[in-house]
Structure 1
Amino acid sequence: MKVSTVDIEKTAMLLKLLGDKTRLTMVKILDSHDCCVCEFVEIFKMSQPAISQHVRKLKNVGIVGETRRGQWVIYSLNKQSEYYPLIQDLLEHLPNQDDKLQELEEQGLRISCE
Structure 2
Amino acid sequence: MNNLNFNSQVFKALGDPNRLAIVLMLSIREMCVCEIVDILPVSFSTISSHLKILQNANIVEGRRDGKWVFYKLSNDEFVLDLIKLLKNHFERSKDFKNLADIVNKVSKESCSIKLDRGQE
TM-score under structure 2 length normalisation: 0.73
Structure 1 segments of 4+ aligned residues over 4 angstroms from their partners: none
- Structure with the higher fraction of residues in helix conformation: 2
What are the ranges of 5 or more consecutive residues in structure 1 without an aligned counterpart?
1-5, 105-109
The amino acid that maps onto 2:15 is: G
Q: Report the alpha carbon displacement of residue 103 of structure 1 after superposing the two structures with TM.
A: 4.8
Q: Report the alpha carbon displacement of residue 16 of structure 1 after superposing the two structures with TM.
A: 2.1
1:39 pairs with 2:31:
no
Question: What is the SS of the residue equivalent to 2:82?
Answer: helix
1:13 pairs with 2:9:
yes
Moved more, 56-65 or 74-83: 74-83
User: For 1:6-85, what aligned pairs fall within 5 Å after superposition?
Assistant: 7-85=3-81
In structure 2, relative to structure 1, the CA distance for the partners of 1:81 and 1:69 (3 Å cut) is farther
What are the ranges of 5 or more consecutive residues in structure 2 without an aligned counterpart?
113-120
Percent identity between the two aligned chains: 33
1:87 pairs with 2:83:
yes
Cα RMSD of the aligned pairs, angstroms, is 2.2
Q: Do 1:65 and 1:78's aligned partners in 2 also have CA atoms closer than 8 Å?
A: yes
* Partner Cα separation in structure 1 for residue 55 and residue 8 of structure 2: 17
Q: Do 2:26 and 2:71's aligned partners in 1 also have CA atoms closer than 8 Å?
A: yes
Q: Report the alpha carbon displacement of residue 87 of structure 1 after superposing the two structures with TM.
A: 2.4
